């Protein structure tokens, strides 16, 4: 195989890619892991030999890949693990940990800067560096959170919530529009809620507005109901114009609401009304448009307040001093309690002494017991023991070592929950029982059944698929007039709920490609050209169009792999290769033009025509010859994922020949081609899952463990929990390798003379 297809380029004369196969023998394969794991990856993705060169058959490639993997796996050192440096909490983990420790909900994006990502993940230890300015922001966040948590002095505040930044799914049945948000009330008392939008809409200029009923819920209980629109409001707006509108909107401002201290959930929405039930069809229109509610303000507290019991204070104040003499012993107990949970280990006397210094300063400067406790909280959540997970080296640190039980508990919890380990997991770790294989497996199953395992969808799966930030692409409003923020949110909700079903219900992960079901509301169903789905609520829908099956039919994927003004077979093909096949294509060389937009004044052509011109360059074709055919099969989807049959006035041609020589026509046949090699897809998923779990990049020497996990999971149809169990029981997850040796310092004299 090498002599026939590879050595013409990869030889000791040309050294293409820095590889010379003519200097190697089959016996060298187990000893040149980096080179041969790279060869396996390129062969699996049909990246080599490059298009235009003589090609082996798929059977020949499969035979070579099988032999190489067998040779590499036989060489696998057991145990084998890489090294993870000190790992800081990312923003999501920090917010979750603060909520678990203190019961405080925070908008972490308002307090801390974004993280640096590696391969789409924001929990990779090597990228989680911290600068002096970053440290200042952590201290500022700790100060803000500690004040909110203790809430000893409730000051009047106003907070505005926007629908675009809050939850719009799982709204009450029979509701239309609006959104949910969580608000922290610093004390028991009266608060005032105001809807900031102009609820009259086009009432004065368009007499088609039906009467709408706006409803506000607090923790699921109705606290307000009021009507807007209809004949009375139309008459008021007609008589008094602008002042009339102000009077109407004034009914939805400064609405009094009584609440206890702590975090509570508001739902602000309007009732869904059937067109046939309305007797106020003044001029046509749609009774189900609903009142447009996009922004809500909560102000308070007003009048007398009191600091009562709340989830937050109860988590902190495990004791209450009866007199001045009781204050310090009680503060010491609070410090021990918080630090034990936050540091994820038993606390020492030294830990407590440090925190009591914070207490003394707060008691003196703020002037009361609560002020001292507030400073304890700040000291705890700004401590490196809270912010970092550090695997302590054993001995000289130069040997492979198992993680200590408490270290393993933290790694397991942040993997499955993106959160602190709970009391049960910590107690088992502290007692040493967590290292028992049966107990360990039981804990993993328990944690996967917990609602916090949803972090595997939002933290892992959405990032693996690169659909966690759909705002990165803004469709041109002149070209895609039906697109809006509500539809973008629907894209995100659909794929999140779809991933939750496949992963958290422990299904065969190949269903991510093949599933004939999805989750839709009326807006998204209309976008997909489907009938019979009514209302804003998402529900499970069986698909009949095979073009919509699985990930390849999801608008979230299709939007994220497009530009704002056009689709991109290049982005889509590269996404399939990297994400679903596990073979990342080579990026274009510097200086190469990648702009395939239609030129102004030129005769309209399809994107396929422009790509074919681009591929006529042999250098370009080496990559595009692999990428483009995959992406072209998806061309019936426009930027927003809507189905189309024409591009620039020309018929869309989605027929293509895949890099392995297989002819296909359209996205459904592309999906079938991917499903035909399920182990390849599952291996790609598992590699990323292991990376996310460990907090480091997967190295070539880790790949035998990845393949072993996949082979084991194949026995029960690749169920997701089996993949998770394979990851958490692997050497790579449960052990720590020695730190890599520092690179030798360069001899500047030698470098200078060489120049």
SS (H, E, C) 712-732: HHHHHCCEHHHHHHHHHCCHH
**Predicted pLDDT of residue 229:** 79
Three-state DSSP string of 505-539: CCCECCHHHHCCEEEECHHHHHHCCCCCCCCCCCE
Q: Token digits for 285?
A: 């229109």
- Digit-coded pLDDT (tens) for 234-287: 777 767 766 878 888 899 999 999 998 878 999 999 887 654 444 443 333 333
pLDDT of residue 230 exceeding 50: yes
Contact 177, 163 (CB under 8 A): no
pLDDT beyond 70 at 434: yes
Tokens of 31: 């000893």
pLDDT at 63 over 50: yes
- The pLDDT assigned to 41 comes to 94
For residue 597, the model assigns a pLDDT of 66
Decide if 692 contacts 415 (C-beta within 8 A).
yes
Reply yes or no on whether the pLDDT at 305 is more than 90. no
Contacts with 668 (C-beta within 8 Å, 6 or more apart), sequence order: 546, 547, 549
For residue 604, what pLDDT is reported? 56
Dihedral sign, CA of 487, 489, 493, 495? positive
Q: What is the mean pLDDT of the chain?
A: 88
- For residue 744, the model assigns a pLDDT of 53
The secondary structure of residue 328, as a DSSP letter, is H
What pLDDT, on the 0 to 100 scale, is given for residue 590?
66
Quick check: 350 pLDDT over 80?
yes
Contact 209, 229 (CB under 8 A): yes
How far is it, in rounded angstroms, from Cα 734 to Cα 730? 6
- What confidence category does residue 748 fall into, taking pLDDT thresholds of 50, 70 and 90? very low
- Quote the pLDDT of residue 625: 82
Distance CA 429, CA 26 (A): 46
Distance (Å, whole) CA 382 – CA 388: 10
Nearest one of 291, 289, 292 to 522, comparing CA atoms: 289
Kindly tell me if the per-residue pLDDT of 742 is higher than 60: yes
pLDDT in tens, 653-684: 999 999 888 999 999 999 999 999 999 999 99
Tokens of 673: 């081609």
Q: Give the model's pLDDT for residue 67.
A: 95
Instruction: Tell whether the model's pLDDT for residue 418 goes beyond 60.
Output: yes
Beta carbons of 504 and 447 less than 8 angstroms apart:
no
Quick one: pLDDT band at residue 631, thresholds 50, 70, 90? very high
Give the model's pLDDT for residue 753.
31
Q: Using a CB cutoff of 8 Å and minimum separation of 24, what contacts does 690-693 make?
A: 690/727, 690/730, 690/732, 690/733, 691/119, 691/121, 691/124, 692/121, 692/123, 692/415, 692/459, 692/460, 692/463, 692/464, 693/411, 693/415, 693/727, 693/728, 693/733
**Helix-strand-coil split of the chain, %, nearest 5:** 50, 15, 40
Distance from C-alpha of 681 to C-alpha of 675, rounded to nearest angstrom? 8
- Based on its alpha-carbon atoms, the radius of gyration of the chain, rounded to whole angstroms, reads 30
3-state SS of 565-605?
A: CCECHHHHHHHHHHHHHCCCCCCCCCCCCCCCCCCCCCCCC
Distance (Å, rounded) from C-alpha 447 to C-alpha 434? 13
- How far is residue 691's CA from residue 695's CA, in Å, rounded to a whole number? 6
Tens digit of each residue's pLDDT (9 = 90 or more) over 312-326:
888 999 999 999 999
Query: Does residue 747 register a pLDDT over 70?
Result: no
Condensed to tens digits (0 to 9), the pLDDT of residues 500-546 reads: 999 999 999 999 999 999 999 999 999 999 999 988 889 999 999 99
pLDDT in tens, 386-407: 999 999 998 888 889 999 999 9
Quickly state the pLDDT bin for 729 (edges 50, 70, 90): very high
**Strand partners of residue 212:** 228
What's the pLDDT at 273?
65
From 145-159, 353-367, 462-476, the region with the lowest mean pLDDT: 145-159
524 phi, psi to nearest 5 deg: -70, -35
Higher pLDDT, 567 or 309: 567
> How much of the chain exceeds pLDDT 70, in percent?
89
Residue 13 is classified by DSSP as T
The model carries a pTM of 0.86
Percent of the chain with pLDDT over 90: 65
CB 503 within 8 A of CB 457: yes
The string of pLDDT tens digits covering residues 112-171 is 999 999 999 999 999 998 888 888 899 999 999 999 888 755 678 899 998 877 777 778
């Amino acid at each position: 195989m090498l002599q026939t297809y590879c050595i013409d380029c990869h030889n000791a004369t040309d050294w293409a890619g820095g590889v010379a196969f003519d200097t190697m023998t089959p016996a060298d394969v187990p000893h040149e892991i980096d080179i041969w794991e790279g060869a396996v990856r390129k062969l699996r993705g049909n990246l080599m030999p490059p298009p235009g060169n003589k090609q082996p058959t798929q059977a020949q490639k499969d035979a070579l890949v099988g032999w190489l993997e067998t040779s590499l796996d036989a060489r696998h050192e057991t145990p084998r693990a890489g090294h993870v440096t000190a790992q800081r909490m990312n923003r999501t983990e920090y917010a979750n940990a603060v909520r678990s420790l203190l019961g405080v909900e925070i908008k972490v994006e308002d307090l801390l800067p974004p993280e640096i990502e590696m391969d789409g993940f924001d929990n990779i230890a090597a990228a989680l560096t911290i600068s002096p300015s970053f440290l200042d922001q952590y201290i500022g966040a700790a100060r803000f959170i500690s004040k909110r948590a203790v809430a000893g002095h409730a000051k009047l505040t106003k907070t505005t919530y926007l629908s675009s930044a809050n939850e719009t799914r799982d709204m009450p049945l029979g509701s239309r529009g609006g959104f949910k948000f969580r608000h922290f009330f610093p004390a028991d008392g009266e608060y005032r809620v105001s809807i900031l939008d102009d609820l009259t809409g086009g009432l004065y200029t368009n007499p088609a507005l039906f009467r709408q009923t706006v409803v506000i819920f607090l923790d699921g209980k109705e606290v307000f109901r009021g009507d807007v629109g209809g004949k009375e409001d139309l008459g008021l707006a007609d008589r008094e114009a602008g002042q009339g509108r102000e009077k109407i909107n004034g009914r939805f401002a400064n609405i009094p609401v009584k609440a206890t201290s702590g975090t509570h959930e508001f739902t602000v929405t309007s009732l869904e009304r059937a067109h046939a039930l309305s007797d106020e069809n003044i001029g046509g229109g749609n009774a189900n448009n609903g009142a447009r509610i996009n922004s809500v303000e909560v102000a308070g507290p007003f009048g007398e307040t009191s600091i009562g019991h709340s989830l937050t204070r109860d988590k902190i104040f495990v004791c209450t001093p009866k007199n001045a003499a009781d204050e310090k012993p009680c503060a010491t107990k609070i410090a021990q309690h918080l630090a034990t949970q936050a540091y994820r280990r038993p606390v020492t006397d030294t830990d407590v002494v440090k925190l009591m210094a914070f207490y003394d300063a707060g008691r003196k400067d703020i002037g009361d017991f609560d002020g001292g406790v507030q400073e304890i909280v700040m000291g705890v959540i700004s401590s490196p023991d809270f912010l970092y997970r550090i695997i302590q080296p054993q001995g000289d640190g130069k040997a492979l070592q198992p993680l200590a039980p408490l270290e393993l508990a933290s790694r397991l919890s942040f993997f499955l929950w993106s959160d602190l380990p709970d009391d049960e997991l910590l107690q088992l770790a502290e007692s040493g029982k967590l290292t028992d294989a049966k107990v360990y497996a039981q804990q993993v199953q328990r944690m996967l059944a917990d609602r916090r395992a949803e972090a595997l969808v939002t933290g892992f799966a959405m990032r693996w698929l690169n659909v966690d930030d759909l705002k990165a692409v803004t469709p041109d409003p002149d070209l895609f007039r039906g697109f809006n923020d509500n539809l973008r949110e629907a894209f995100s909700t659909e794929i999140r709920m779809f991933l939750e079903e496949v992963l958290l219900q422990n299904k065969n992960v190949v269903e991510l490609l093949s599933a004939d079901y999805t989750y839709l509301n009326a807006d998204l169903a209309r976008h997909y050209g489907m009938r019979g789905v009514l209302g804003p609520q998402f529900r499970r829908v069986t698909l009949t169009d095979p073009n919509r099956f699985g990930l390849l039919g999801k608008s979230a994927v299709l939007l994220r792999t497009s530009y704002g003004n056009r689709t991109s077979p290049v982005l889509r093909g590269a996404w399939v290769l990297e994400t679903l096949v596990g073979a990342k294509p080579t990026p274009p060389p510097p200086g190469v033009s990648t702009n395939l937009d239609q030129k102004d004044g030129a005769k309209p052509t399809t994107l396929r025509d422009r790509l074919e011109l681009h591929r006529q360059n042999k250098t370009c074709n080496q990559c595009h010859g692999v990428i483009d055919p995959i992406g072209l099969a998806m061309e019936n989807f426009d930027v927003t994922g809507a189905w189309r049959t024409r591009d620039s006035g020309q018929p869309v041609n989605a027929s293509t020949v895949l890099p392995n020589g297989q002819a296909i026509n359209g996205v459904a046949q592309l999906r079938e081609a991917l499903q035909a090699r399920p182990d390849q897809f599952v291996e790609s998923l598992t590699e990323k899952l292991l990376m996310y779990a460990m907090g480091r990049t997967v190295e070539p020497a880790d790949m035998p463990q990845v393949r072993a996990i996949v082979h084991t999971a194949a026995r029960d149809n690749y169920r997701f929990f089996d993949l998770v169990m394979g990851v958490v029981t692997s050497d790579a997850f449960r052990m720590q390798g020695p730190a890599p040796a520092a690179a030798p310092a360069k001899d500047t004299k030698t470098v200078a003379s060489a120049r």
